[in-house]
Structure 1
Amino acid sequence: MPGVTSILTDNKAGMKSLVKHLVEDHNYKRIMFVTGPENNCEAMERYEGYLEVLKENNIPVDENIIFNGNFNSHTGYRIMKEVILNDIRYDAAVFSNDDMALGALKAIDDLSQKHEIDISKRSIICGFDDVTNAKLTSPPLTTVSQPFEDICEGAVKVLLDKIDGKETEDIIKYPAALVKRQSCGCKKDTVLDEISNKYLRLIPRSIFSMGVKTYNLNEIYERITREFKRCRFRNCFISTYYEGTITYDDTFLFKETFEVPKKSILLYAFKDGERVEIKEDEKVFDTKRLVPESFIPKDRRFYYLINPLYFEEDNFGFLCFELVNDDIIHFESLWAQISNILNGALILMEKDKIKK
């Protein structure tokens, strides 16, 4: 954005270092690539890095081994399953992020158990980001690490400089570092706490995909509870905005009048693996707190992932769930389905109120 300091990772250089390693150190020529979301700047830079290395090494671009991805591990699973079942040959497969690469490794593991398929050369898989699970798979995932600590430190420094009235650069880029592990073919030289791929928690199909034939909130919450237990969530909360629905347009976030709704209403609480009752004085809370104070863990560190509840351009609330280290997926399809189901139920409730 013009006039705003942007602190970025050098995605192109990071991807180039990875693909160069595959070409120069392992002599791989037929390198499959899975892109990130269309029009995502980071994804485009990573794809450009891949193409540049091929060009620099006189390797022709083969569109048959380039696939469109979206950073979702389900997509990595699906693409790798199609590649193996269609016997598409490659020397190494590079995914634009670790989640898709981890999904691909899970697909390889599943197919090796269900079908008589030679996958001995299929596990040359690489990703990008160096997420927690990257070093825990078997084989451990070769990837590119983003320097998040440096980025955070740089961001605070920029803020302090701005407060002091100092000039700051418009764009600050930090280098990404190649992390060599065994999934690219490198030999193991460290002892890692590995886990079997069968413990990666990829939920390929939600029970909601079978259809929900009710708009009764209690029945919907029962279905959600069963699904959360199946996914082994620890904590998850569903809230709507007290002030009502926000309708977005293309310029909404850049309007000077934009404000996060001050209050939200907690509709559903799943705490420590069980659905819990919400007391009357806990229902309305400050939106910026994400959940009511009584539901926030006091004795440990925790990470919340916040996803919007939406229907088309309408954002009517948010879903907040706790990430645990062995989660390799953000359950995008699950919260999208919850959005649609809740939207229908809440609309019917409003219509009933108007009739009364």
Structure 2
Amino acid sequence: MKKRKLFGVIAAAAADTEQREVIKGIIEKTREMDIDVAVISNIYNPMEWASMLKTENLIYDLVHSDEYDGIILISESVIYPDVQKKMLEELQNKSAPVITIGALPEGFSLPTFTCINTDDVNDFKDICDHLTDVHGFTDIHILTGYSELELSHKRVEGYRRSLEEHGIPYDENKVFYGNFWNNSGYDHAMRYISGELPYPQALICGNDYMAYGLLDCFLEHNIDITKKMAVTGYEYIRERYCHVPILTTYQRNRKALGIKAVEMLCKGADNITHDDFEPPKGNIISGDTCPCGAKTEDIRYDIRTARKKDIYDRLDLYSLLEHKLIECRSVDKFVETCREEKFRIKNADRLYMCLYENWYEGTGNSSNMVCYDLIDNTEPFMFNKYNISAVFGNEAASYYFCPLFFADRELGYIVLRFKGNDSFRHIFRCWLKTIANGLEFLRMKNDIRFYLQCQDISEERDTLTGMLNENGLKKAYRNTEKDGLSFVAIRIAPGICNCGVGHKEHIDAVLDAAEAVRQFSDGQICSRINEDTFVCLIRDMTDNTDLLAVQLSALLQHNTSYIKKYGLDSFVCTAVPCEDNDYLTTKEKCFARMTEMTDVYSARRTDPHYKKLNALRTMIYSTPQITFDQREIYSHFNGSDGYLRTIFRKCYGFTLHDDCTNARISAARYLITMSKLSNSEIAEKCGYNDPKYFMRQFSGITGYTVPRYRLLFSRSAEE
């Protein structure tokens, strides 16, 4: 349930300076009024259609949500006509009030829209007033945008009004049209340099980009433009540090637009008529391209911004996140890896990866999302795609919803939360691309059709798990010193499943078992030599090879996907020392023992009570903390306590009491080696009230003290 009012902000390329300024005002005002903000934005926002990027605009489906109390549309940021059309279709059915900010593209309007903007006419009049009043210039040119755009002519109109108020004749020959991009500024500079146009006292550029193109051209031709004429830009896009000399420009008061939009929405949401809109005035940002000169505080701000950008650019350049993500073989590991580099998302208070429930299937997307916290180690949760407030916290904040996609595959979206007025930068695009690439690799690893296509990719690698296959293991065995080496094999689902590679649940179970084998081998040699058998070559862990088999079993018993599918008695694990240089001889010794164990397990399954007893054992091993409570255990079985104990021993050959103890010790083996929990914490999770009793019992059953066992098998033994 929503806790507060929610205003939606529809933007495009929200990292651009123009959008950031508007959003800054929106956030400042909504924070003051205890309102949540959801900014929905694409990332690339190309002017020309790019088929590879069409999927990113599916993020605007979130406008469907009925949770918005009001919507702010930053209209001029959406530049592709088809996307504009999609937005209009979404918004025309909204009952919530809609405020648009900025110039509206042709046809991009509805009667229900309330439009606000800064006044381009007055802004350009202010610029021209500055040049005449402060510097006394009377010969002034203007380079505006496309001649067919009303926006371009509004900027010329402000220039004309200023001249006329100062008694300076307006001359159309001093008005030039460009394309609002650097190249038209460069071309216009060449007209001055070549002598085609006489130098004026000052040139007003319709935006900063054209001004930068002009400055770059003069610099390239080794001409000091300050000795020729003054130049002003418009927009203050925060790139002055990249060009020489420092540009004098004009900052539109877009922040005030954001504040005003929120005030108007609040009144509209409460059915209160808002006041007439008065466009906010901007201000001159002085630079060295006019006689004012750059102000120290402005230069300091520009440099500080540039340095921060450089730091995060370098972090991205040297990051190995993409390599690490490509190596991940499960979503859990993927999320864990992302958390390791959470510092790359500057100032985000929360970072969520929301994936479609069936994102990996390549079919139509579910309406349900699974949300993963990429900052804190919390459990994922599920919510409906359009219930966007499901990710909101207890305090008012701003949330950015950005598309997560690969080519034409929509994977979900990323949500960033900021408690302050900050927002994401363009570097976030690189991070998003890395995440999307990593997810696609992970999807392909779990897509059996992909692996069938790639089954011949390597003669020495198993295509499903990426481990060595039997050819690779034979080669490794030949080239490995046998002294202190053990051959550890585990066979999963023997005699139980003949699912074949097409069954997804079986594939998931195999991959889960593979992860347990990797955890056990911890960088040593591991392989999948056939459909149901894994083999590890383990050196110098212990002289007791049986202990190796017990430890690997403990790890698999606590890998939930596998156990959930096949249960406890679904695998056999043995280990033998590598005393023979011949691979086949060692394998036969190990497999002979596995066959004996398989026969024992097969005999158990003929017992008429086996299914019920196995379900009881699975519960005991999954919740070992209940094993001290006999009433709790017996309550799960219909029959007397004595009858349960009798049939249990007959089926398994050991007592229920002993199995409860083994369940606790198995959980302890797993936690000792796979977690950083203290001995007391492990004892508690295994059901022991007395840590000392736990340590005595563990030592008595395993033959090792807890510290010694941790030293043998733990991934962080030094801790």
Task: Please give the TM-score of this superposition, normalised by the length of structure 1.
Answer: 0.53
Does residue 302 of structure 1 match 2:424?
yes
| Residues 337-348 of structure 1 mapped to structure 2, 5 A cutoff | none
SS in 2 for 1:32: strand
1:342 aligns to what? Answer: none
Q: Is the 8 A contact 1:98 1:127 kept in 2?
A: yes
Structure 1 residue 50 displacement after superposition: 0.4
Structure 1 residue 56 displacement after superposition: 1.8
Structure 1 residue 189 displacement after superposition: 4.2
Does residue 22 of structure 1 match 2:131?
yes
Q: Is the 8 A contact 1:303 1:322 kept in 2?
A: no
Aligned length: 224
Q: Is the 8 A contact 1:181 1:187 kept in 2?
A: yes
| Residues 54-69 of structure 1 mapped to structure 2, 5 A cutoff | 54-69=163-178
1:133 aligns to what? Answer: 239
Q: Is the 8 A contact 1:6 1:171 kept in 2?
A: no
**Aligned letter for 2:280?**
Y
Q: Is the 8 A contact 1:5 1:170 kept in 2?
A: no
Deviations 1:36-79 (A, max 9, x none): 23343443222111011111222223333321022112211121
Largest Rg, 1 or 2: 2
Change (3 A) 1:14 1:298: closer
1:48 aligns to what? Answer: 157
Q: Is the 8 A contact 2:186 2:210 kept in 1?
A: yes
**Aligned letter for 2:146?**
P
The CA distance in 2 between the partners of 1:142 and 1:7, in whole Å, is 26
Identical columns (%): 26
SS in 2 for 1:101: helix
1:90 aligns to what? Answer: 200
The CA distance in 2 between the partners of 1:282 and 1:6, in whole Å, is 43
The counterpart of 1:36, out of the listed 121, 145, 153, is 145
**Per chain length, whose mean CA-contact separation is higher, i.e. which structure has more relative contact order (CA < 8 Å, sep 6+)?**
1
The counterpart of 1:173, out of the listed 279, 287, 290, is 279
Change (3 A) 1:322 1:173: farther
Q: Is the 8 A contact 2:178 2:185 kept in 1?
A: yes
| Residues 315-334 of structure 1 mapped to structure 2, 5 A cutoff | none
2:265 aligns to what? Answer: 159
Q: Is the 8 A contact 1:6 1:170 kept in 2?
A: no
**Aligned letter for 2:175?**
I
Change (3 A) 1:182 1:321: same
1:107 aligns to what? Answer: 217
**Aligned letter for 1:152?**
G
Q: Is the 8 A contact 1:32 1:90 kept in 2?
A: yes
1:187 aligns to what? Answer: 293
Change (3 A) 1:134 1:163: same
The CA distance in 1 between the partners of 2:430 and 2:230, in whole Å, is 32
Deviations 1:120-159 (A, max 9, x none): 5235210111111136643322122112222112112212
Q: Is the 8 A contact 2:219 2:244 kept in 1?
A: no
1:70 aligns to what? Answer: 179
Does residue 281 of structure 1 match 2:360?
yes
| Residues 163-242 of structure 1 mapped to structure 2, 5 A cutoff | 163-169=269-275, 171-190=277-296, 192-193=299-300
1:227 aligns to what? Answer: none
Q: Is the 8 A contact 1:37 1:70 kept in 2?
A: yes
Any stretches of 5+ residues in structure 1 without a counterpart? 196-231, 235-271, 273-279, 306-319, 324-356
**Aligned letter for 1:291?**
L
The CA distance in 2 between the partners of 1:145 and 1:118, in whole Å, is 25
The CA distance in 1 between the partners of 2:402 and 2:122, in whole Å, is 38
The CA distance in 2 between the partners of 1:46 and 1:165, in whole Å, is 35
SS in 1 for 2:116: strand
1:291 aligns to what? Answer: 404
Change (3 A) 1:14 1:299: closer
Deviations 1:157-204 (A, max 9, x none): 212211101113564422122223321111344252578xxxxxxxxx
Any stretches of 5+ residues in structure 2 without a counterpart? 1-108, 304-316, 320-343, 345-358, 368-384, 386-400, 406-410, 432-719
Q: Is the 8 A contact 1:43 1:96 kept in 2?
A: yes
The CA distance in 1 between the partners of 2:360 and 2:276, in whole Å, is 46
